[in-house]
């Protein structure tokens, strides 16, 4: 029997294991379901990143083609943009190659073959584009140099054309042969064609090679014609120009064209490399079309053929089914446990009934009845009865002690409360007396402060008055010096005006002399006109000249009269100015004497203000010292007042505490008065 009991499992352990199994299954299923949703979120993120990467590759490929063409066209910033976009494309492609297309291990999900093939094709096309981009970037300096040469030609050629336009006008004026003028006209056309050929070379394409050859021929022909016009060239049918002004223009054209010729040679030297760079840009544009096509294929294939999402969805469905099964199994075990708890509750109710009987027998204790002991029961509550009887005995002793001590505390608290109230009344009277003293001291402090403030203001006003007086003295002295300076300047000006008046007299004499000469000239011209008219046709020219001289002499006479009027006016104004300045000089002398008197008065006022300022400062210092002393007294009275208030507050608190203590003692006696003891014990 003992052997059978030890070998069989316990019922509690078996029930615990049956409860744990569905809970563990439910937990595992929920964990699997949670991880499935996490993986689905990660897979969605991977899908979005993959689509974003393919779209980014398409955008970058278009930017590479655009920047390559702009770089070949000579835009400086396009080279940096081309470098940046190519680096971004390479980084994006590397990230796409290294990334996983699924969160599921590759052993469970077969990657799409078309996606891998598209990535491989994309990588091959990018290798070709990368080489072409490197070729364009390597030629950056030469391409930009070529465009700078073109810009310089576009600036110089119009100057050459302007020079030739002027040369043609000079040749037309010199009535040169028409064929020679046509040669000069053709030079202007050749210059225009040189510029157009240079632009065609830069644009690139199949026509750029022909344009380069035409550019070289035109430059050589222009140079030969230019030299022929300067030195002559029988082979070209060009005669040497003999007009000196035209030769000077041709020399200027030769200087300008030497610069153009050097630039043309540089362009022809660099043009083969530019042809290659244009070809690379065209190849990049073609290759980017393949990149766009492959990126579109990759995006569409990935959306259609992704297997990871399907596996994760199936795993989520299976985990959900397991969760439902675990919940049903848990409900079954919970019902069985509920029946077991019902049986245990019935047993507990029987024990509770026995305890209620014991509590009914102890109901007298709740009313404070300690006069009798509880009877001992013979059932399982007997030990509890013994403990309760012992506790009742101890409570009797405790109630008796509390009652005695409460009486003692009540008497002592009443005596202490009376003493504390007397102390509180005395503290109140002391606080009232200190308040009265403090108010008087504060009024004294305010009066002294006001007196000190007024003394300080008076000192400030006096000091300001002293400063203003000193400033007034300086201003009057400066004014006096300025008046002396003005007096000297007026005297100098008066002397200058006098010299000007004397000069006007001399000008008057000169104008009189010029007037006499003009009148004599007028008479002579009149006589000459008469002699010319008498001479007839042969004297007509001389008569015209005589009439012109007569008109000029009349104009001179009129101008001299105006000058005389102006000289008279200047002479009159000069005399008036001299008279006014002499009067001003007299006024300045009078003003300087008054200013000197003002300086003396202001100096006396300055001395009086200095003495007054010293007296006011002494009063202010004395008032401030008294204010500080009274302020110290007021501060000490405030400290005494605060200490007295705290003492009064503490005394009141002590009296209140004693009153509370008496109340507590009374409450304690009331609380124990409800307990009933034996008469001998009470």
DSSP 624: H
Mean pLDDT, residues 252-264: 85
Phi and psi, residue 450, nearest 5°: -65, -40
Mean pLDDT, residues 555-562: 78
pLDDT averaged over every residue in the chain:
72
| Domain boundaries of the chain, sorted by first residue | 21-135+303-327, 141-271, 382-673
Range in 86-100, 357-371, 385-399 with the lowest mean pLDDT: 357-371
- The reported pLDDT for the residue numbered 682 is 54
Helix axes 244-305, 178-203, angle to 10 degrees: 20
Q: Token digits for 325? A: 């099964």
Mean pLDDT, residues 347-376: 60
- The reported pLDDT for the residue numbered 2 is 40
- Closest by Cα among 634, 365, 523 to 531: 523
- Best mean pLDDT range from 241-250, 475-484, 636-645: 241-250
Mean pLDDT, residues 329-346: 71
Looking at per-residue pLDDT, the higher value among 392 and 578 belongs to: 578
- Closest by Cα among 261, 279, 291 to 139: 279
Asked whether residue 363 carries a pLDDT value surpassing 70, the answer given is no
Mean pLDDT, residues 381-390: 63
Mean pLDDT, residues 458-475: 76
Give the rounded percent of residues in the chain with a pLDDT score beyond 90.
Answer: 0
Looking at per-residue pLDDT, the higher value among 372 and 648 belongs to: 648
Mean pLDDT, residues 489-514: 75
C-beta contacts of 221-225 below 8 A and 24+ residues apart: 221/190, 222/187, 222/190, 222/191, 222/194, 222/257, 223/257, 223/261, 225/183, 225/186, 225/187, 225/190
Mean pLDDT, residues 132-147: 79
pTM over 0.75: no
- The reported pLDDT for the residue numbered 6 is 41
Looking at per-residue pLDDT, the higher value among 20 and 478 belongs to: 478
Mean pLDDT, residues 239-265: 85
Q: Token digits for 680? A: 């001998």
CATH number of 141-271: 1.20.120
pLDDT category, 272, cuts 50, 70, 90?
confident
Mean pLDDT, residues 332-343: 72
Mean pLDDT, residues 187-203: 82
Q: Distance between CA 331 and CA 603 in Å, rounded?
A: 117
Q: Distance between CA 72 and CA 138 in Å, rounded?
A: 12
Give the rounded percent of residues in the chain with a pLDDT score beyond 70.
Answer: 65
- 62-110 pLDDT, tens digit per residue, is 888 888 888 777 787 888 888 888 888 888 877 777 655 544 444 334 4
pLDDT category, 22, cuts 50, 70, 90?
low
Helices and strands (H, E) in the chain, number of each type: 11, 0
- The reported pLDDT for the residue numbered 49 is 67
- The reported pLDDT for the residue numbered 63 is 84
Asked whether residue 370 carries a pLDDT value surpassing 60, the answer given is no
Q: Distance between CA 226 and CA 188 in Å, rounded?
A: 11
Which residues have C-beta within 8 Å of that of residue 7, sequence separation ≥ 6? Answer: none
Q: Distance between CA 63 and CA 54 in Å, rounded?
A: 14
- The reported pLDDT for the residue numbered 293 is 79
Range in 128-137, 387-396, 467-476 with the lowest mean pLDDT: 387-396
Taken as a whole, the chain contains a residue count of 682
- 287-324 pLDDT, tens digit per residue, is 888 877 777 777 666 654 444 455 555 655 666 666 66
Asked whether residue 26 carries a pLDDT value surpassing 80, the answer given is no
> Contact, 499 vs 604, CB < 8 A?
no
Q: Is the CATH code 1.10.287 the one for domain 382-673?
A: yes
């Amino acid at each position: 029997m003992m052997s059978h009991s030890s070998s069989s499992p316990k019922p509690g352990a078996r029930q615990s294991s049956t409860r744990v199994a569905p809970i563990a299954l439910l937990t595992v299923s929920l964990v699997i379901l949670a991880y499935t949703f996490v993986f689905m979120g990660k897979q969605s993120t991977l899908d979005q990143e993959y689509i974003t990467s393919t779209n980014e590759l398409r955008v970058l490929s278009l930017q590479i083609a655009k920047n390559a063409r702009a770089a070949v066209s000579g835009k400086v910033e396009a080279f940096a943009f081309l470098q940046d976009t190519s680096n971004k494309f390479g980084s994006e492609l590397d990230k796409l190659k290294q990334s996983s297309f699924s969160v599921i291990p590759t052993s469970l999900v077969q990657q799409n073959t078309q996606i891998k093939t598209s990535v491989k094709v994309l990588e091959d096309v990018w290798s070709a584009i990368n080489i072409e981009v490197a070729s364009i970037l390597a030629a950056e300096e030469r391409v930009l140099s070529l465009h700078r040469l073109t810009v310089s030609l576009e600036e110089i050629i119009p100057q050459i054309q302007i020079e030739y336009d002027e040369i043609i006008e000079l040749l037309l004026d010199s009535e040169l042969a028409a064929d020679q003028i046509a040669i000069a006209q053709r030079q202007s056309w050749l210059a225009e064609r040189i510029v157009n050929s240079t632009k065609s070379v830069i644009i690139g394409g199949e026509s750029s090679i022909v344009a380069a050859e035409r550019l070289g021929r035109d430059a050589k022909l222009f140079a030969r014609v230019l030299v022929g016009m300067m030195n002559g060239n029988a082979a070209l049918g060009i005669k040497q120009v003999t007009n000196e002004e035209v030769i000077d223009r041709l020399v200027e054209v030769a200087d300008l064209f030497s610069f153009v010729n050097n630039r043309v040679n540089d362009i022809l030297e660099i043009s083969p490399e530019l042809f290659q760079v244009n070809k690379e840009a065209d190849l990049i544009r073609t290759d980017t079309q393949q990149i766009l096509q492959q990126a579109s294929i990759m995006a569409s294939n990935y959306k259609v053929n992704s297997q990871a999402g399907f596996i994760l969805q199936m795993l989520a469905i299976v985990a959900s089914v397991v969760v439902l099964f675990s919940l049903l199994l848990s409900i079954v075990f919970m019902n069985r446990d509920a029946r077991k708890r019902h049986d245990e509750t019935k047993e507990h109710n029987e024990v509770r009934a026995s305890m209620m009987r014991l509590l009914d027998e102890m109901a007298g204790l709740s009313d404070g009845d300690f006069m009798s002991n509880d009877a001992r029961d013979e059932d399982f509550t007997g030990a509890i009865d013994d403990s309760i009887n012992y506790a009742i005995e101890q409570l009797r002793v405790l109630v008796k002690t509390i009652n005695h001590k409460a009486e003692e505390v009540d008497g002592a608290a009443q005596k202490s409360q009376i003493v504390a109230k007397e102390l509180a009344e005395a503290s109140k009277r002391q606080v009232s007396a200190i308040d009265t003293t403090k108010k008087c001291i504060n009024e004294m402090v305010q009066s002294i402060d006001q007196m000190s403030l007024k003394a300080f203001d008076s000192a400030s006003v006096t000091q300001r008055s002293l400063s203003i007086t000193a400033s007034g003295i300086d201003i009057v002295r400066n004014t006096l010096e300025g008046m002396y300076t003005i007096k000297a300047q007026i005297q100098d000006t008066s002397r200058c005006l006098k010299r000007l008046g004397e000069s006007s007299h001399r000008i008057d004499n000169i104008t009189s002399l010029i007037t006499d000469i003009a009148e004599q000239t007028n008479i002579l011209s009149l006589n000459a006109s008469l002699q010319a008219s008498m001479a007839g046709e042969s004297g007509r020219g001389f008569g015209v000249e005589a009439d012109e001289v007569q008109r000029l002499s009349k104009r001179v006479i009129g101008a001299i009269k105006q000058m005389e009027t102006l000289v008279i006016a200047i002479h009159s104004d000069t005399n008036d100015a001299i008279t006014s300045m002499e009067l001003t000089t007299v006024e300045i002398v009078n003003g300087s004497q008054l200013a000197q008197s003002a300086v003396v008065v202001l100096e006396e006022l300055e001395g009086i203000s200095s003495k007054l300022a010293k007296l006011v400062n002494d009063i202010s210092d004395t008032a401030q010292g008294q204010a500080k002393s009274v302020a110290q007294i007021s501060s000490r009275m405030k400290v005494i007042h605060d200490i007295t208030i705290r003492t009064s507050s503490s005394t009141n608190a002590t009296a209140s505490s004693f009153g509370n203590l008496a109340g507590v003692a009374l409450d304690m006696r009331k609380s124990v008065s409800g307990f009933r003891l034996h008469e001998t014990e009470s």
